[in-house]
Structure 1
Amino acid sequence: MQRRHLLAAGMAGLALAPPSQAQDFARQGVPTDIRLLVGFAAGGATDLLARRLQPLFERRGHRLVVENIPGGGSAIALSRVAQARPDGRTLGFASGGLISLIASAEVPLRFDQFINLVRVSQDPAILVVGAKSPIQTLEQAIAAMRAGAGGFSAGAAGPEGTLGHLTLNAVAAAVGAEFIYVAYPGASRVANELMGGHLGLGLVKPADVFGQVRSGELRPIAVLGEARLAQLPNVPTAAERGINAFPDGRMLQMTYAVAPAGLPDPLRAGLVALFRDAVLSPEFQATAASEAYLADGIHGAELEAAVAEMFDGFRTAYARMKR
């Protein structure tokens, strides 16, 4: 039922404002002041995405206030979005975290409590180790995991059952290894633990750790995506080594803007146009290129299908874990 609702919602035809009206969002009822609730701590990749939108919104006549409400894998922030008035003044950033929470049925959140607006980013994941680690390659990491006989540590942002945990599980299962999963509240903690030698292997977004990679404090050993990254051309993909990191379906982390259910169609169209205008701007695209994430601004049926694909992947992964 959830997926049928999700796909049906995406089929609702909402025409975007034509390019000639792109700057006149006020006529579509878009509020001048907008609160964007981010369910993660300040300084992380998701928070930085929101803050990079601020000057772009301001240039278009809108004040974007970013409010960080970390906790519960973004459940606290998105619960507040779901309870807000559908007037366009309170929006949120959803991600694979929200999709996994709904798929697990561990929180009282449902897809029909939200209106999906625009995808802001889609991120590949990379496996990294600390600079002091003896591990230099993916093959050496696999050997260390096997030799550890379940005592090798690997971590990501988010508790068990979230995308980072499931992806590490898939990699370990593909190579016949085991590990101890260590959950962290954010990628900065993952990076710090790796640099301190307290964690064997980390799974992060490239944008979370490019500073430490460039400084030599972290060493990337594999990309869990469909192709090598232009920013890390010498780092192979797991697929090149015959490892399927997505056995339950293609699940790449993404961040997308949502509004409370009940948002009027004209206002939804105005908000979609505003977000797309900012995300597809040369400034935002330049940042996306430098930090290795895709900023395609998809919306409507295409975004609904992407969410549904991840939802199906999470359900399949959870069912496999229970066997």
Structure 2
Amino acid sequence: MHAMNDAVPAKHPPAAADQGGRRWRRPPGRLARRFLSGVLLALAGAHAALAGEFPDKPVTIISPFAPGGADLFLRIVAPKLGEQLGQPVVIENVPGAGGILGAERVMHAPPDGYTLLFAPSSVTVTAKFLSANVRFDILKDFTPISLMHETPQVLFVPGDLPVNSVAELIHYAKQRPGKLAYGSAGIGSVMQFNAELFKMESGTDILHVPFKGISPMNTEILGGRVAMGFSTLASVAPFAKAGKLKVLAALDARRLPFLPDTPAITETLPGFRTVGTWSSLLGPAGMPKAIQERLTRAMSAVLAMPDVKRSYDLNYGLIIAGSPADLTRRLQSEIAQTTRIADTAGIRAE
């Protein structure tokens, strides 16, 4: 008789075995799952700790223009943003190439929340029409943090031009096709986009005279050598109050609180969708979400302060606080709008 084999067969194969020259491994069990859960919890904890520690040194906001003018509202906000963050907020002006140099500086900065971009729409929306040297994609190369404010625009004419409304201006222009001119701060400027949109919506034929900035444009319109312009209310208000210029409409879907008796342009041209002059706060792409959210909360708190609103009101500014998602939607909308106008009007970067 042969002895019986008392060995109990294994219930499970070994962790690794050779079957036909192929090796296989047991699927991860509870130990592996526990390890993975531990890793995820550790990462989540590190993420939260990162937000809790930020910032532990001063934050720099790059203003891509020379001091004064464009960064007026930033200088109202920056000290209060520092109070919210518990660290100083320093403004560094990096002018050049219509704001492109400052934007590129932030694009290449570490995405740690310590280098941010004060971003007017001339940089985020129309820069590619101002210069052929734009090397960034505003939607891909930056992290949206917050909408900030808008500087409302108006349609204005010389004080002695014999029109007193948008309808009268359209009639006047149609009687003189190709003989009137509008001024702008340069090819690809927001002013040119709004003027070309006006031509499209009104069916008028008006020439374009580009200038190197707002001041020389206003000088020529004041002198009556250019018939009309589109600019910020802040740049026009002193001349309008003196009766040297006439404001015919606010470039908005509704009347401005600063000009309650002046019609919105949509009251005459319902399809007019203004290309805005507005600003936002951005960071480099790849910023951790916890830091992005910390900055967004801080900016929202600042823009909700009554004294900040009063300062904005005194300088013809409108607060348009909004989330990163709101900012992204507005960028997408206005980029599509300006692209459509540029294609129709033949606006190309020089």
Interval of TM-score (by shorter of Structure 1 and Structure 2): 0.7 to 0.9
Distance 1:104 1:69, change over 3 A: closer
Report the Cα offset of residue 28 of structure 1.
4.4
Q: Distance in 1 between matches of 2:56 and 2:174?
A: 55
Q: Distance in 2 between matches of 1:41 and 1:218?
A: 28
1:182 is matched with 209
Distance 1:182 1:91, change over 3 A: farther
For 1:211-256, what per-residue CA distance to the aligned partner results, in whole angstroms no more than 9, with x for missing partners? 443344432111121111121122112222235323xxx6433210
Matches within 5 A, 1:296-307: 296-307=320-331
Distance 1:134 1:40, change over 3 A: farther
1:6 is matched with none
Comparing 269-278 and 32-41, the one that deviates more: 32-41
SS at match of 2:119: strand
Report the Cα offset of residue 291 of structure 1.
4.3
Distance 1:269 1:132, change over 3 A: same
For 1:134-162, what per-residue CA distance to the aligned partner results, in whole angstroms no more than 9, with x for missing partners? 544323433443344324221233423x4
Q: Distance in 1 between matches of 2:178 and 2:196?
A: 12
Distance 1:103 1:159, change over 3 A: closer
Structure 2 unaligned segments of length 5 or more: list them: 1-49
Distance 1:291 1:264, change over 3 A: same
Report the Cα offset of residue 274 of structure 1.
2.1
Q: Distance in 2 between matches of 1:205 and 1:82?
A: 28
Please identify which structure carries the higher helix content: 1
- TM-score normalised by structure 1 residue count: 0.78
1:100 is matched with 126
Matches within 5 A, 1:138-157: 138-157=166-185
Report the Cα offset of residue 313 of structure 1.
1.5
1:311 is matched with 335
Distance 1:211 1:36, change over 3 A: farther
1:126 is matched with 154
Q: Distance in 1 between matches of 2:129 and 2:263?
A: 31
- In the alignment, is the contact (CA less than 8 A) between 1:153 and 1:180 conserved in 2? yes
Distance 1:63 1:159, change over 3 A: farther
2:345 is matched with 321
Kindly indicate whether residue 100 of structure 2 is the aligned counterpart of residue 80 of structure 1: no
Distance 1:193 1:36, change over 3 A: farther
- In the alignment, is the contact (CA less than 8 A) between 1:231 and 1:290 conserved in 2? no
Distance 1:225 1:156, change over 3 A: same
Q: Distance in 2 between matches of 1:65 and 1:285?
A: 21
Comparing 258-267 and 71-80, the one that deviates more: 71-80
Identical aligned residues as a percent: 22
Larger RCO (alpha carbons 8 Å, 6+ apart): 1
Letter in 1 for 2:127: L
Structure 1 unaligned segments of length 5 or more: list them: 1-24
Comparing 269-278 and 286-295, the one that deviates more: 286-295
Q: Distance in 1 between matches of 2:240 and 2:191?
A: 19
- In the alignment, is the contact (CA less than 8 A) between 1:104 and 1:318 conserved in 2? no
For 1:26-58, what per-residue CA distance to the aligned partner results, in whole angstroms no more than 9, with x for missing partners? 9441254233222334332x3211111133235
Distance 1:112 1:242, change over 3 A: closer
SS at match of 2:59: strand
SS at match of 2:321: coil
Kindly indicate whether residue 272 of structure 2 is the aligned counterpart of residue 245 of structure 1: yes
Q: Distance in 2 between matches of 1:148 and 1:65?
A: 52
Letter in 2 for 1:39: P
Q: Distance in 1 between matches of 2:241 and 2:115?
A: 37
For 1:255-281, what per-residue CA distance to the aligned partner results, in whole angstroms no more than 9, with x for missing partners? 101111122222222221222222221
- TM-score normalised by structure 2 residue count: 0.73
Letter in 2 for 1:203: F
Distance 1:57 1:226, change over 3 A: same
Give the number of the structure whose alpha-carbon radius of gyration is greater. 2
Report the Cα offset of residue 115 of structure 1.
0.6
How many residues are aligned here? 294
Distance 1:158 1:103, change over 3 A: closer
SS at match of 1:115: strand
Q: Distance in 2 between matches of 1:34 and 1:251?
A: 31
- In the alignment, is the contact (CA less than 8 A) between 1:238 and 1:244 conserved in 2? no
Q: Distance in 1 between matches of 2:213 and 2:75?
A: 17
2:241 is matched with 214
Matches within 5 A, 1:1-323: 27-30=52-55, 32-44=57-69, 46-60=70-84, 61-97=86-122, 98-101=124-127, 106=132, 107-110=134-137, 111-160=139-188, 162-242=189-269, 244-246=271-273, 251-321=275-345
